[in-house]
Amino acid sequence: MEVAQQEILTQAPAKETTKVSGSVALLEALIAEGVDTIFGYPGGAIMPIYDALYDYNDKLNHILVRHEQGGTHAGQGYARTSGKVGVVFATSGPGATNLVTGLADAQIDSTPLVCITGQVFAHLLGTDAFQETDVINITTPVTKWNYQVTDANEIPEVIAKAFYIAKSGRPGPVLIDITKNAQIQLFDYEGYTKCEHIRSYRPKPIVRTQYVEQAAALINQAKKPFILFGQGVLLGSAEQEFKAFVEKSGIPAAWTVLGAGAIPTDHPLNVGMLGMHGNYGPNVLTNECDVLIAIGMRFDDRVTGRLDKYAKQAQVIHLDIDPAEIDKNVKTTVPVWGDCKETLPLLTALVEEKKHTEWVNLFNDYTRKEIEAVIHDELNPTSGEMTMGEVIKQLNDLTKGEAIIVTDVGQHQMVACRYAKFNNTRSNVTSGGLGTMGFALPAAIGAKYGAQDRTVVAIIGDGGFQMTCQELGTIMQSGVDVKIIILNNRFLGMVRQWQELFNDRRYSFVDIQSPDFVALAAAYRIPGKCINEREELQGALKQMLDNKGSFLLEVMVTKENNVFPMVPQGCSVSEIRLK
């Protein structure tokens, strides 16, 4: 028996191997994972990977960004519109540390990224070698997983794990640091196998049907149920399942900033945006509902306001893929762990078909109050300087709500999120949790590569634009078609609003001077236009949208216009101010 087994072993064909470098193994891994676009910036410690990339131009499209932070935001934009993993290359030292803001942004907004950094030779680690930093310890708090490769033999398996971890469960960023010796080392390459399981990692919790049944029972008994939905619906590709649940249950649904687009803006049960600058009804009626159903959202402080005054009258059902979010901020009556693409159909099957007409009409009554107090004048001014809201309204009219809207951070972000129309999923790309100024321009570049058949419009403030305006060079060199609207109010507007309302108009260092943005764009061979008059707006927007290629439109808007409604910090959501 032993002899027979030995004969079988000796006769078994050996795996075919090929001698390749670590760099080649990395690129082959990316191709096997379906990567088509890389955003990056070369340097000494990652040079072997870039040398290998020279022979892969027909398979991998590399976009040369102008700053590594821009690379991470471009990767985020790509991931958010495509549903795939964004990939970023950077060198060691300052190249790697420049990724940190983007990694933190991706971590808090659950965006799947794989960042590859070069590192000094393994024998130099810990010697303070040129451009050496401890990128693993620096990025540990802002990544879902990170790992340092010092031997090329590890590369196929580590990259497979990186992609699996980045995109599975609650997505997030992963960083793989590869020493230079591992990049050039030749080893016996046996091919690439995708990772589908890691013993110590469970990306999705087990769905417990008893909790689904308890949730359905609460919903069926409710008189005033209310749905809060977030990006988890989009990340789980559960838009159709969510729509079916909303329509069968007849429950009004409001969205977080990152949840926008999970159902169309104009859906009759979509009652608006939650949070500090959200809509009037969803905020006030949070404290009047009897059952609160949170789906794929994390009860961020900008949504809840004062936690000790948040929905204390309601029984709370929380559907989330990440058990750490359950009870983190708001005490849950019934937790429903699991991927909402799996849990929502189970819940929908058990809920009774209802209309909740009077309850929905109450939201509509609050909407009418908000239109009268705020929205009408913001969207339809007849005199004075232009408002941000009317720019968004005119853009809606021209794009029919079909465009991808990428926003930076500030007043323009809240105005765009409030008033833009999102008829399709994955149409709202913004920095939610971290609130990163400078996000929009590079993110819009990535968003266009992730959805090349769609119109991408970046809406940016004059302050945020100047943080990453060097990425105009990326647009120039790549020829990517991004429409850029700068809403210029000559202030750091959101900080100024707070200083006006809460610091007695003590405008401390918020009056920002800007260059000639149109001339700056022209220096990068991008056409542009600046308008001051309302009568010019529609024609200028149409010119921007019709232009073949990128276009920059600067719109001079009123300097001291505030974004309302607003929940002041430290107040309950029911204390929202209309003016």
Q: What is the pLDDT of residues 237-261, one digit of tens each?
A: 999 999 999 999 999 999 999 999 9
Residue 12 has pLDDT above 60, yes or no: no
Average pLDDT, the chain: 95
Domains along the chain? 15-189 (3.40.50.970), 209-362 (3.40.50.1220), 385-557 (3.40.50.970)
Query: Could you write out the DSSP letters of every residue in 320-367?
Result: ES-GGGTTTSS--SEEEES-HHHHHHHHHHHSPP---HHHHHHHHHHH
Tell if the pTM clears 0.85, that is, is over it. Answer: yes
Host H or E run for residue 90: strand 86-90
In the sheet that 404-407 helps form, which strands lie side by side, from edge to edge?
A: 428-429, 404-407, 456-461, 483-488, 551-556, 528-531
- What's the confidence (pLDDT) of residue 379? 96
- What's the confidence (pLDDT) of residue 13? 52
Nearest to 404, CA basis, from 475, 365, 459: 459
Q: Which candidate in 437, 494, 544, 566 is catalytic? A: 494
Q: Which candidate in 7, 130, 533, 542 is catalytic? A: 130
Q: What angle do CA 428, 239, 483 make, to 5 degrees?
A: 20
- What's the confidence (pLDDT) of residue 189? 96
Q: pLDDT-based confidence at 15, cuts 50/70/90?
A: low
Nearest to 83, CA basis, from 171, 146, 145: 171
User: Are 531 and 537 a contacting pair, CB within 8 Å?
Assistant: yes
Residue 6 has pLDDT above 50, yes or no: no
User: Are 72 and 115 a contacting pair, CB within 8 Å?
Assistant: yes
**Mean pLDDT of all residues in 495-499:** 94
In terms of pLDDT, which residue wins out, 487 or 570? Answer: 487
Q: pLDDT-based confidence at 579, cuts 50/70/90?
A: confident
- What's the confidence (pLDDT) of residue 3? 41
Cα-Cα-Cα-Cα torsion 110, 114, 120, 123, nearest 10 degrees, comes to 90
Nearest to 337, CA basis, from 353, 326, 352: 326
User: Are 463 and 529 a contacting pair, CB within 8 Å?
Assistant: no
Q: Which candidate in 144, 161, 180, 243 is catalytic? A: 180
Residue 264 has pLDDT above 90, yes or no: yes
**Mean pLDDT of all residues in 215-222:** 98
Nearest to 482, CA basis, from 39, 60, 78, 62: 78
Amino acid present at 559: K
Annotated catalytic, 313? no
**Mean pLDDT of all residues in 360-389:** 96
Q: pLDDT-based confidence at 272, cuts 50/70/90?
A: very high
Residue 112 has pLDDT above 50, yes or no: yes
Residue 161 has pLDDT above 50, yes or no: yes
Q: Which candidate in 121, 131, 328, 342 is catalytic? A: 131
Q: pLDDT-based confidence at 16, cuts 50/70/90?
A: confident
Annotated catalytic, 502? no
- What's the confidence (pLDDT) of residue 26? 98
- 579 Cβ partners below 8 Å, 6+ apart? 373, 374, 564
Residue 17 has pLDDT above 90, yes or no: no
Q: How many Cβ atoms from other residues are within 10 Å of residue 7's Cβ?
A: 10
Cis ω for the linkage preceding 173 (within 30 of 0): no
Q: Which candidate in 28, 33, 39, 68 is catalytic? A: 68
Percent of the chain with pLDDT over 70: 97
Annotated catalytic, 131? yes
Q: CA 31 to CA 40: how far, in whole Å?
A: 16
Annotated catalytic, 556? no
Q: How many Cβ atoms from other residues are within 10 Å of residue 322's Cβ?
A: 17
Q: CA 371 to CA 385: how far, in whole Å?
A: 20
Nearest to 516, CA basis, from 505, 508, 528: 528
Instruction: Provide the H-helix boundaries in 534-575.
Output: 537-546
User: Are 286 and 292 a contacting pair, CB within 8 Å?
Assistant: yes
For the chain, state the CA radius of gyration. Answer: 25
Q: CA 442 to CA 449: how far, in whole Å?
A: 11
- What's the confidence (pLDDT) of residue 9? 39
Nearest to 92, CA basis, from 127, 73, 62, 68: 68
- 76 torsion bin: left (phi>0), alpha (psi -120 to 50), beta (else): alpha
Residue 39 has pLDDT above 50, yes or no: yes
- What's the confidence (pLDDT) of residue 14? 55
